[in-house]
Amino acid sequence: MNDLDLDKLDPTFESDLEKSKVAVRAVKDWLSRCGFQVTERPVIVRPTAAERFEYADDGDLDLLHRVEVKHRDKIDFTCAQDFPFATVIVDVCHSYDKARPKPFAYVIANKPLSHAMVIYVRQTRKKWTTKKIFSRNRLRDHYLCPTRLARFVNLSEESDEPEGPAGAAAQT
């Protein structure tokens, strides 16, 4: 089959592509109502079937994920083995509970800001516990996550990139 045959075999390509935009916009609107910041990727129609590979789809939507950053300025750690607690404080319960959208992850940096632990919410939330802890001059409910579920990273190494949900799930 040559490239000219593809134009004949798929004569409704452009109208099908236009119809697909309706579904993309419906999903974008839903995600926006859920509190996510969503960007629709541009669609550029191929001039000819022969140029189809230069115009391949790179996805429909980009979703900006919320990440909460915490600095534990009294704790120095580089890995799970030298973190001094079996659990880590994730957040005050009311802050997490009212969050919309919920954070994708919490990144908790150590005292010198050289290392951090990443807690992927979706993969760890069911394992969190609550505990009353005195903070900011009052007793407040906090969520705690088992330290073993966190991914430890070196903030100064470019090669130590954060993993997405699949990589985090492997640790649970």
pTM > 0.85: no
| Cβ-Cβ contacts under 8 Å for 29 (sequence gap 6 or more) | none
130: phi then psi, degrees, rounded to nearest 5: -115, 150
- What does the pLDDT look like over 80-134, one tens digit per residue? 999 999 999 999 999 999 998 899 999 999 999 999 999 999 999 999 999 999 9
pLDDT band at 78 (very low <50, low <70, confident <90, very high): very high
**Domain residue extents for the chain:** 3-63, 66-169
Rounded Cα distance, 97 and 100, in Å: 8
| Residue 49: exposure state from Cβ atoms within 10 A (0-12, 13-18, ≥19) | middle
* Strand intervals (E) in the chain: 37-40, 61-64, 67-71, 87-92, 105-109, 115-120, 129-135, 138-146, 151-154
Helix (H) or strand (E) holding 155: none
